[in-house]
Chain A
Amino acid sequence: MKILVCIKQVPDMESKFKVNGEGNWYDSSDLAWRMNEYDEYGVEQAVQLKEQIGDADLTVLCIGPDRVKETMKKALAMGCDRGAHIADDASYGRDPMEIAGIIVEFAKDKGFDLIFTGMQSQDRASGQVGVLVAEMLALPCVTTIIDFAFVDGEIQVKRELEGGIKAKVKTTIPALITCQLGLNTPRYPTLPNIMKAKKKELLSIPAADLLSVDTRQETAAMYFPEKKGGGRVLEGENTDLADQLIQILKEKTSVLA
C-alpha cells in the first residue's frame, strides 16, 4: 500500500507573534517551529497502519522553505519511509487551492492508496486543503476523523460532529482522510529511529515545477484584534456589592432605565 501524509510546519502557538512588513501574514522571525498538531495525528495513523499491514510505503510531503525539513525529519523518525520537500519560500502566502494544486501535481501519477492530512493548520486554519486535494484527485474524502480502522481492504472511521455527536463512515480505498484531535497519541520517536531518519530519502522539488493552479484568494490584511475594556471584579460585603452593581447598571446600561 502506498500512503501519502501531508504535513505543514507551523509556529509554536506560544510564540510572540508580530504582523509582517506587508501586513498580510505574521512575521517569521523569533518563532519556534513545529509540526501542525493535526498533521501529527495523520503521521501517527499512517505509521500505525503500516505496522498493522506490514507492506506499506509512507511518503511524507511538506511545502515550505528549507527549515521545514527539520519538521519532516520528525515525521521520518516517527516512521515515514521517504520525504518529499516542496521547496517554496512563498508558501505562507499561497491560498488553499494553490497548496492543494501542488500536492495533487505531486501525487497524481504516484498511485497513493491513502492520503492523510490534518483537518486544518494551526496558523491559517482554512480546513480546505485536504478536501480540495480529494476533489481534484476524485477520491472519497472523510474529514475530522477521531477513530480509524482498516479492515478487509475497507476504511472504517468515526467522525466528530457538532455537539459531541459521532458518525461512523466506511469507504473503500483509495481515499483521503483529514485527522482531528482525539484520533491517537502521536508517538515520541525512538533514538534508533531518529538516527535512521537522518539517512532516509528526502527529496527537494521546487514548488514552481508543481504549480498548476492559480490563486483564488488573497489575504488583504493581518492584524491583532482590537483591545477591548477588561472585566471588573467587585469586592466587599454582599449588600454593598448589590448597591455597586445597581449603580453600574444605572450608569452604563439602560436595563434599569
Chain B
Amino acid sequence: MEMEFTREIYWNVGHGFLTLGPMYLLALTAIAILAYGFLLRINVYKQGQSLARTDNPGQRTVNTIKTALLQTSVTRVTIPGIFHGLFFWGFFLLFIGTTIIVIQADFTDLFFGVKFLRGTFYKLFSITLDLAGLVAVIMLGALFVRRYILRPEGLETKRDDALMHGLLFAILLTGFIIEGARMAVTEIDSPLAVWSPVGFVLAKSMSSLDEGGLRSLHRFTWWFHLLMAMGFIASLPFTKFRHILTTSLNKFFADHGPTGKLATLDLEDEEAESFGVVTLQDYTWKDIFDADACTLCKRCQDRCPAFTTEKPLSPMKIINQLGDMAFQGKMDAVVDTFTRDAIWACTTCRACQDICPASIEHVGKIIDVRRSLVLMEGEFPGEEVMSAMEDTEVNGNPLGFGYASRGEWAEELNVTVMADNSDVDILYFAGCFASFDARNTKVAKSFVTLCREAGIKVGILGREEKCCGEPMRKMGNEYLYQTLAMENIETLERYNVNTVVTTCPHCFNTLAKDYRDLGLDIEVISHAVYLDRLMKDDRLSIDGADVSCTYHDSCYLGRHNDIYDAPRQLIGAAGGTITEMEKNRDQAFCCSAGGGRILAEEKIGSRINVKRVRMAAATGAHHLLSNCPFCLTMFEDGVKGAELEDQLIPKDIAEILVENLKKKTDSAARGPFIHSK
C-alpha cells in the first residue's frame, strides 16, 4: 500500500457513540456553564448606567481582532509581552487545529466522506501543531518562572493564577503524551514521524512500553485531556481565564476619544438628583466591565506617579475595588472604598490608561468620584484648593491675582489686546500661569518675541481672558469649569477668533477638546507645534548653539495629544542635543501638577517633581526643557528640593529658542504668513 500522509482521527478511542456521546455531552455542558457564567456577569454589568459604545462597529471589530490576534497591546512591555504573545499564539494554533480535526471527523467525513487532513496539508498541520505546543509549553514555563520565582514587585498572585498555570500545563502536557503514545504505536518507524518532532521524541521515550500499555495510557490520557479542556471552557467566566473574552471585548467597547476627554455633565438637568459617582450604580456598565477585563498585570500601577511615590493610589486597585463592589452588590459610598487620599492623589497623567493592555479607562472613574465630592459635598483635598476655587470664581485665576492685571505682563512688549484691535494672525491664549506667575511670564514674553520675529501679529485677551477651567474640572468642579468655559467661548466668538495658540498644554487640551462639547470649534495649536511650523516655514532663524538638554514630555501634550516629535525637532533645530530620560514620550513620568494637583499641596509620600528632576539630572544634561507652565513650576521647585540647582536649569522650549535667536535683518522682505497645515 502506498504511504498516505494522514492519521486516523479518534485512533484508539473509537469513533462510535460511546466516544462521541460522552464527548459532546461534556462539551455541551462546558459551553452551557460558560454561557450561564457570563449571563450572571452580564447582570452585574447591567447595574451600571447606560453608555453608547457600539458606534462605528466595523472599526471596533478590526481594532478588537488586531489587538487580540496580533497581541499589540500586551507586547508593549517587551519581555512578559512576548512570553504572553507567543503562548497565546501557540495555544491559539492548537485550538484551531483541534477545531479542524472536529470539522473533518465529525462533519465533513462523517456526513460527506470528505477528508482534508492528508498529504502536504497534513504534514504542515502536524508540524505546526507540534511546534505550537512546544512554544506554548516553553512560554508558559517562562511566565511561571516570572510569576512564581522572579516575582516582580507588585505582581499579585492569587489562587486563580495557580489554577490557570496548572490547567494549561496539564492540557499541553497531556496533549503531548497522547501524541507520543499514539506515535509510539503507529508512527515510530514512519517517515511521517519527522513532521511531529516533539511527539517523536516522546514516542521514542515510551518505546519500552508494550502496545497494550501504550494504548491504555493513550486512552486514559485522551479522556483526561478532554476533561481538562472542557474544564478550561467551563471555568472561563469564573476565573481570570475570562480575560480571553472580556479583555478582547473591552477593545471593542474602547473609548474612541478624543483622547482623555471627560464626559461633560448636564448641570441644568432638573431631574438629576446627584452629580458624579456616589454609589457603584452611578458608574456606567462599561466601568464595571472594565473591572472584569483587568488581568492585574500592574502596568498601570508601575507607571502611576502617585503609586510610585508612596501615595495610597493604585489605578489597578481602584479598578478591582470597583469590580469587587459590583460583584458583591455593595451599596456603600464608592469613595469610602477607594479612600479620599487615593481619589485626590491622581494627576490625570494618563500613564495608566495609555499602557493598559485591557483598554481600561481609569481616569474618568476617579474624576467621577471627585465630582460627587466637590459638587455634592463641597469637599476638596485641602483648604488651599478651596481657596483657589474661590479665587478663580472672583478673579478668573487660581493664583488670586486681580483680574484687571491679567494682561500686564504684555505691556512692556506692547502686545495687541483684542479689545483694542482684533486684526491679528493668532490669538495667544496665555493662561493663568503665563499671565501672573513671574517665572512663567518669561515664557509668554519669549513666545511673543518669537512670533514677532517671524512677522506674526499676536493678540491677547488680556483682562477678558479667564482660566480655561482645566484644573478645576480635573479636581471635580464641573460647575466652575463650565462657567469659565462659557465665558471664554463667548469672548472668543465675539472676536471671531480663528486660530488660538497656547503655551499651556492644559489650556490647549481644554480649548481644543473639552470646549467642543460646549460649542467652540476653532483651530487650537500648542506653541511647540506652532513654533515648529514657523521654523519649517523658515520664518525663524535660530543660531545652533550647542545646548545640552533633556526633554520632558508633558502629559497633556504627550499622552493626551500624541505630540512627541514637533518639540524634539524644534529643540534640534535650535541646536539642542537631547539626552532622553529613561521614561520618555508615551512613558514619560508626570511632573505632579496635572489633575488640578497644581492647586494642591503634596502632603503624602515623596515628591513626584523631585523624582522627575532626578531622572532628568541622571541624563547628565544641563537643561531640563519642557512645554508646560505646570511642569516648569514643578521643576523649578524640584531642582531646589533635589538640591540640583547648580546642575540642572529648567526652561521652556520657547525660552531656549529666544536665547539663540538670530536677529534677521530682512524681516520686511518676507511675504505674508500663511498657515501651513
Binds B, one of A27-35, A144-152, A211-219, A246-254: A27-35
Decide: B375 and A191 in contact? CB cutoff 8 A: yes
B405 — which chain A residues lie within 8 A by C-beta?
A: 16
Decide: A14 and B380 in contact? CB cutoff 8 A: no
A193: nearest residue on chain B (CB-CB)?
Answer: B378
Binds A, one of B359-367, B395-403, B496-504, B518-526: B395-403
Q: Mark B366-407, 1 if CB is under 8 A from A, else 0.
A: 000000001111111001001001100011000011111100
A12: nearest residue on chain B (CB-CB)?
Answer: B394
Q: Is the C-beta of A192 less than 8 angstroms from some C-beta in chain B? A: yes
Binds B, one of A109-117, A121-129, A181-189: A181-189
Decide: A16 and B389 in contact? CB cutoff 8 A: no
CB contact under 8 A between A189 and B378, given known A32-B395, A34-B394:
yes
Q: Name the prevailing secondary structure of the B interface residues.
A: helix
Q: Is the C-beta of A56 less than 8 angstroms from some C-beta in chain B? A: no
A192 — which chain B residues lie within 8 A by C-beta?
A: 274, 375-376
Decide: B402 and A16 in contact? CB cutoff 8 A: yes
Q: Is the C-beta of B275 less than 8 angstroms from some C-beta in chain A? A: yes
Interface residue total, chain A, C-beta cutoff 8 A: 17
Pick the contact of A188: B275, B378, B404, B463 (CB < 8 A): B378
A188: nearest residue on chain B (CB-CB)?
Answer: B378
B395: nearest residue on chain A (CB-CB)?
Answer: A32
**Residues of chain A from 1 to 48 with CB closer than 8 A to chain B in the complex:** 12, 14-16, 30-34
Q: Is the C-beta of A190 less than 8 angstroms from some C-beta in chain B? A: yes
Decide: B402 and A188 in contact? CB cutoff 8 A: no
B374 CB to nearest chain A CB (Å): 8
Pick the contact of B402: A12, A185, A189, A190 (CB < 8 A): A12
A16 — which chain B residues lie within 8 A by C-beta?
A: 402, 404-405
A30 — which chain B residues lie within 8 A by C-beta?
A: 402, 404, 463
B380 — which chain A residues lie within 8 A by C-beta?
A: 188
Q: Is the C-beta of B28 less than 8 angstroms from some C-beta in chain A? A: no
A191 — which chain B residues lie within 8 A by C-beta?
A: 267, 275, 375-376, 479
CB contact under 8 A between A14 and B402, given known A34-B394, A188-B389:
yes
Q: Is the C-beta of A194 less than 8 angstroms from some C-beta in chain B? A: yes
Decide: A194 and B479 in contact? CB cutoff 8 A: yes
A194: nearest residue on chain B (CB-CB)?
Answer: B479
Pick the contact of A32: B267, B374, B389, B394 (CB < 8 A): B394
A30 CB to nearest chain B CB (Å): 4
B386: nearest residue on chain A (CB-CB)?
Answer: A188
CB contact under 8 A between A190 and B375, given known A14-B395, A34-B394:
yes
A188 — which chain B residues lie within 8 A by C-beta?
A: 374, 378-380, 386, 389-390
Complex Cα spacing A32 to B406, Å? 13
B401 — which chain A residues lie within 8 A by C-beta?
A: 14
Decide: B403 and A190 in contact? CB cutoff 8 A: no
Complex Cα spacing A192 to B378, Å? 11
Complex Cα spacing A34 to B403, Å? 13
Decide: A15 and B375 in contact? CB cutoff 8 A: no
**Residues of chain A from 153 to 201 with CB closer than 8 A to chain B in the complex:** 185, 187-192, 194
Pick the contact of B394: A33, A187, A190, A194 (CB < 8 A): A33
A31 — which chain B residues lie within 8 A by C-beta?
A: 402, 404
Decide: A15 and B386 in contact? CB cutoff 8 A: no
CB contact under 8 A between A12 and B395, given known A188-B386, A191-B479:
yes
Complex Cα spacing A188 to B378, Å? 5
A77: nearest residue on chain B (CB-CB)?
Answer: B378
**Residues of chain B from 400 to 432 with CB closer than 8 A to chain A in the complex:** 400-405
A8 CB to nearest chain B CB (Å): 15
Decide: B376 and A190 in contact? CB cutoff 8 A: yes
CB contact under 8 A between A14 and B400, given known A32-B394, A188-B389, A194-B479:
yes
Residue from B383, B400, B403 with most neighbouring chain A CB atoms (10 Å) = B403
Complex Cα spacing A27 to B608, Å? 45
**Residues of chain B from 266 to 312 with CB closer than 8 A to chain A in the complex:** 267, 274-275
Decide: A32 and B376 in contact? CB cutoff 8 A: no
A80 CB to nearest chain B CB (Å): 15
Decide: A15 and B479 in contact? CB cutoff 8 A: no
Binding site for B on A (CB under 8 A): 12, 14-16, 30-34, 185, 187-192, 194
A-B contact pairs, 24 of them (CB 8 A): A12-B402, A14-B401, A15-B402, A16-B402, A30-B402, A30-B404, A30-B463, A31-B402, A32-B402, A32-B404, A33-B394, A34-B394, A187-B378, A188-B379, A188-B386, A188-B389, A188-B390, A189-B378, A190-B375, A190-B377, A191-B275, A192-B274, A192-B376, A194-B479
List 6 tightest A-B contacts by C-beta distance, closest first: A188-B378, A191-B375, A30-B404, A15-B402, A14-B402, A32-B394
Known: A16-B405, A31-B402, A31-B404. 17 other contacts (CB 8 A): A12-B395, A15-B402, A16-B404, A30-B402, A32-B394, A32-B403, A32-B404, A34-B394, A185-B383, A188-B374, A188-B386, A188-B389, A190-B376, A191-B267, A191-B275, A191-B375, A192-B375
